């Protein structure tokens, strides 16, 4: 069993913002693989949808706690399903990667300033969970014209939307490959692109 957690902020005003790239990927997985509609769970402070990839039971998760408290939802789910950190796959935006890039990593040293990841590390007491990282950085951000917290809450413009949609499809494919053939197979294929 795997928990596949897409990070983001709930609510219409946050849809299609950079910080919600994780939400976008789990929605793409849910839709493309015909998982059931999202179920709102107060118990887990999340939207959840259960299905299968290959022989593996998959629980897709969109925490509804707001980004900075994502760990609350992940902890409740991990506790209930008795799932260890290595079976909790977290999909999130990453300011250290350029828009159009993705990277799969495991056991990163810290959250790298990403409050959602830091919350999950704190809640689980471990950094040993796979992360599917989605680049959202642009030259605008790199030259420092925008504060990070304002930048991540921006919506993608028309040109960026095309790029992010391609990356979302790629991340979805990498998650499916990881579920079918293992994390290493997905890392070998997608981290070299």
Q: Which residues are catalytic?
A: 19
Q: Are the CB atoms for 113 and 148 separated by under 8 Å?
A: yes
Max Cα-Cα span within the chain:
47
- Residue 44: CB atoms within 10 A of its CB come to 23
Residue with tokens 């760990």: 71
Strand partners, 133: 92, 103
Contacts of 21 (CB under 8 A, 6+ apart): 8, 91, 92, 93, 134, 136, 164, 167, 168
Taking a C-beta distance cutoff of 8 angstroms, is the pair 58, 51 a contact? Answer: yes
The structure tokens listed for 48 are 């959840």
* Residues 55 and 71: beta-carbon distance below 8 Å: no
Terminal C-alpha separation, the chain: 28
**Rounded to whole angstroms, how far apart are CA atoms 108 and 118?**
11
């Amino acid at each position: 069993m795997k928990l596949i957690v897409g990070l983001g902020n709930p609510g219409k005003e946050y849809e299609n913002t950079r910080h919600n790239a994780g939400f976008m990927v789990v929605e793409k997985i849910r839709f493309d693989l015909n998982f059931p509609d999202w179920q709102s769970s107060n118990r887990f402070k999340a939207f959840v949808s259960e299905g299968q990839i290959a022989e593996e039971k998959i629980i897709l998760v969109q925490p509804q706690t707001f980004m900075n408290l994502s760990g609350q939802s992940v902890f409740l789910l991990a506790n209930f399903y008795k799932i260890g950190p290595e079976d909790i796959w977290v999909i999130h935006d990453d300011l250290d990667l350029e828009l159009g890039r993705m990277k799969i990593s495991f056991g990163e040293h810290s959250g790298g300033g990403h409050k959602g990841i830091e919350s999950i590390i704190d809640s689980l007491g471990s950094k040993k969970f796979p992360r599917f990282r989605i680049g959202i950085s642009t030259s605008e951000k790199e030259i420092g014209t925008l504060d990070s917290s304002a930048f991540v809450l921006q919506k993608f413009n028309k040109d960026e939307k095309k790029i992010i949609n391609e990356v979302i499809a790629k991340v979805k494919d990498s998650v499916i490959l990881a579920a079918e053939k293992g994390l290493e197979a997905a890392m070998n294929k997608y981290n070299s692109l």
